Chains A and B, each alone.
Chain A
Amino acid sequence: MKDMLRAAFVIARRDFTAVILTRTFLFFLLGPLFPIMIGMAFGGLGEKISQDSLRPAAGLSMPPAETARMLEAREGIARRIGADHISALKAASWPADPRRLLADSDAGYVAVVSGTVDRPVLTGPPADIARLEGDIRLIASAAKTRAILIEVHVERHPVMQSASGQAQARLTTGRGAQILIFLLTMLLAGMVLSNMVEEKNNKVIEILAAAVPIDAVFLGKLMAMLSMSFIGILFWGGCAMAAMGALVGPGFTLPAPAVGWPVFILLAVLYFAMAYCLLGSLFLSIGAQAATVREVQTLNMPVTMAQMAVFFFATYAVDHMGSAPEIAAVLFPLSSPFAMIARAAQDGAIWPHVLALLWQAMWVGLIIRMGVWLFRRHVLNSGARRSLFRRRATPPV
């Protein structure tokens, strides 16, 4: 075992330095930041759109006095409940055919309110009518009474949390961690698929197979890729922290998970490592069977689909703690890390995580063993044709 770990470390060190000390690794680090930056830019634009006059509004095609009453009532409601929670209104020409107004793309009305305050008429696509009807009814009612409901003062008695709110917040934290681990695993574990192709193409595999057990080759490659992934995560995590520090105010706090933040972060790291090793060992086993890069590329899509299926299974289970699907997701090795991190957010018990980590580690070992067996049999053309239970011939003592 000691020899195998030593050999795995030699291979891991070679693979790690071969990847890290290249220019392409810089692109690997910077790559995921580009879509985030583009996303943030578009997010900022979207916020701007929602705040200014570009936001879609319903047109008011009513007599001027009625229009003024409607706009005044809308403003009054918006002040109380927030502008984002009540539909925007914009004065339109009057008199005019609502259908013609809707056809005018420059005006940008999603629907047109015509008629009077007493009998408003809402014209527009069915979906927009359904969405706006309640708001228009409220605004028209307020305009009709010429007053908004009398404001009652609410006395504030703040507490740290409510049971229901806390459960909801922890669920959100669990989901967030699940998504993060899944995205990172999907982003990083896929690279393992093509890992053995290099050795097979440049014939180094013969050198490796003669010197160390194939198990050590598989393990070393996983160790290298996992280490490389952690470097990426540290870099991206650092960038994310810096961005959050710049964009989010000091009062911002995330809902605390049931096991507490330090343990949760430690478990998140361990479950990511396990998710990576489980999927990575599977991908390594599959990829090792491929003879060319083309074959690996062909395998990529079904493998990604399978990953998605596992993730959706774990996501479904997170809402149903203790249910049969959740327990199944915890036990099924490939979904287990995702299900368990969600559990850590919602349940404070630590011992299930110790068991789960051991269970997952055992499966990593089993998958590697299976991959090695397939590799020796189909790629190295090894493996004796004897029965599994027949003893290997040994030299006479």
Chain B
Amino acid sequence: MIGEISTPRPAYAVEAQGLVKAFGDFHAVNGIDIAVPAGSIYGVLGPNGAGKTTLLRTLLGIIDPDEGWRTLLGDPQPLRQSHHVGYLPEERGLYPSMKAFDAIAFMGALRGLPLRIGRERARAMLEAHGMGASADKPIRQLSKGMAQTVQLFGTIVHQPRLIVLDEPFSGLDAINQGKLEALIREQARSGVTVLFSTHVIAHAERLCERIAIVAGGRINFEGSVATARGRLRPQVMLRTRASDGPWRHALPAETLAQDGAWHFALPDGGIEPLLRALLDGEAGIESLSIERPGLHDAFVAIAGEAVARQMEEDRAREDAA
């Protein structure tokens, strides 16, 4: 039975150490260590060309690494676990003349799902997502978004234990992005591990428990989103009626005055000593906010301004397309 657990589940759905993959002189993956906990939603974050796709293809066994090792569901030969894995590649691929339900069943059959069951599930999935009328249409007659949905269903029709999605939000409109996020959460709730790559920080921030920030074929950060954000201290924004006074000495040295407000990182001793100084010095507090840094800020701090800017450009280019 597909999706049935016949072997003990490893702690990590995906694990790799010292992965290196070079194309000529270019090192697309350059010494990556990664461990994706079973049952988690894990994001690989990085700009285009960072090595995300090569990393995923290497982890899945489509290509072999030049150095290092990897295991997929505990198996050092990833293709042996193919029945328990679903993969949505970045470049979508379907046979244009195949009917939608048949394409889904075919993808399931490739991963060991009997064709009859695949066809039944395909029709049910299409029906449940309001695409029942398109089930018997050839792929070439479907819109790009519908074809992508068909391929996504083909990725999960055999009820895999691990789903790998390469840039899954690419090319989807906001509504379909929302549907895909819901689907990823639904899969994770049922115990499936979801590993996906993206260059859109917001998706990773909303979905992921853990992330790996990749740039230049290396992982600059690996850990939980909270840890990434915790790398930066919370930011304080203070507005006072008085512009000067003895309380100014209580502000941290790196405080910036901008747009009529004081901006600084939360001091190590907390906000209370500062509050006391402000009150005693009659600064006249108009507003005071303490904001935890977002993943974007953490990303900038970890990967650098240039990489963050490239990701923004990638996203803008994609939106324009």
Contact = CB atoms under 8 A, between A and B. Distances in A.
Given A10-B106, A211-B111, A393-B18, A204 B76 contact: no
Contacts of B92: 203
Contacts of B63: 376, 380-383
Interface residues of B, number: 40
Given A210-B87, A211-B111, A393 B95 contact: no
B94 A204 contact: yes
A306 interface: no
A382 B69 contact: no
Interface string A211-244: 1110000000000000000000000000000000
A386 B66 CA distance: 6
Nearest to A208: B110
Nearest to A6: B112
B167 interface: no
Report whether over half of chain B's contact residues are helix, strand or loop; otherwise say mixed. Answer: mixed
Contact of A380 (B62, B76, B98): B62
Contacts of B87: 207, 210-211
A385 interface: yes
A349 interface: no
Nearest to B82: A211
Contacts of B168: none
A391 to B, nearest CB: 11
Interface residues of A, number: 33
A127 interface: no
Contacts of B109: 10
Nearest to A210: B87
Nearest to B97: A18
Interface in B69-111: 69-71, 76, 79, 82, 85, 87, 89, 91-98, 106-107, 109-111
A202 interface: yes
A207 B103 CA distance: 12
Nearest to B79: A213
Contact of A384 (B17, B60, B62, B64): B64
A70 to B, nearest CB: 72
Instruction: Name, among A212, A381, A394, the residue most crowded by chain B CB atoms within 10 Å (CB to CB).
Output: A381
A139 to B, nearest CB: 69
Contact of A203 (B17, B57, B91): B91
A14 interface: yes
Contacts, number: 90
Contacts of B112: 3, 6
A282 interface: no
Given A385-B66, A393-B68, A395-B76, A7 B15 contact: no
B106 A14 contact: yes
A138 interface: no
Interface string A62-83: 0000000000000000000000
Contacts of A394: 69, 76
A47 interface: no
Contacts of B71: 395
A204 B139 CA distance: 13
A218 to B, nearest CB: 15
Given A211-B111, A212-B110, A213-B79, A395 B93 contact: no
A297 B70 CA distance: 40
Interface in B245-270: none
A376 B109 CA distance: 23
B244 interface: no
A245 to B, nearest CB: 39
Contact of B17 (A198, A210, A211, A395): A395
Instruction: Name, among A14, A210, A395, the residue most crowded by chain B CB atoms within 10 Å (CB to CB).
Output: A210
Contacts of B23: 381
A383 B67 contact: no
A11 B64 CA distance: 23
A132 to B, nearest CB: 63
A210 B95 contact: no
Nearest to A386: B66
B65 interface: yes
A207 B89 contact: yes
Interface string A158-174: 00000000000000000
Interface string A186-208: 00000000000011001111111
Given A210-B61, A393-B67, 9 more contacts: A14-B106, A18-B95, A203-B89, A207-B110, A210-B57, A211-B111, A384-B65, A392-B69, A394-B76
25 contacts: A10-B106, A14-B98, A202-B93, A202-B94, A203-B89, A203-B93, A204-B95, A206-B89, A206-B91, A207-B107, A207-B154, A210-B60, A210-B87, A211-B87, A380-B63, A382-B64, A384-B65, A384-B66, A392-B64, A392-B69, A393-B18, A393-B69, A394-B76, A395-B69, A395-B71
Interface of A: 3, 6-7, 10-11, 14, 18, 198-199, 202-213, 376, 380-386, 392-395
Interchain residue pairs A-B with the least CB separation, the first 9: A203-B93, A382-B63, A211-B110, A204-B93, A206-B89, A393-B69, A203-B91, A210-B87, A384-B64
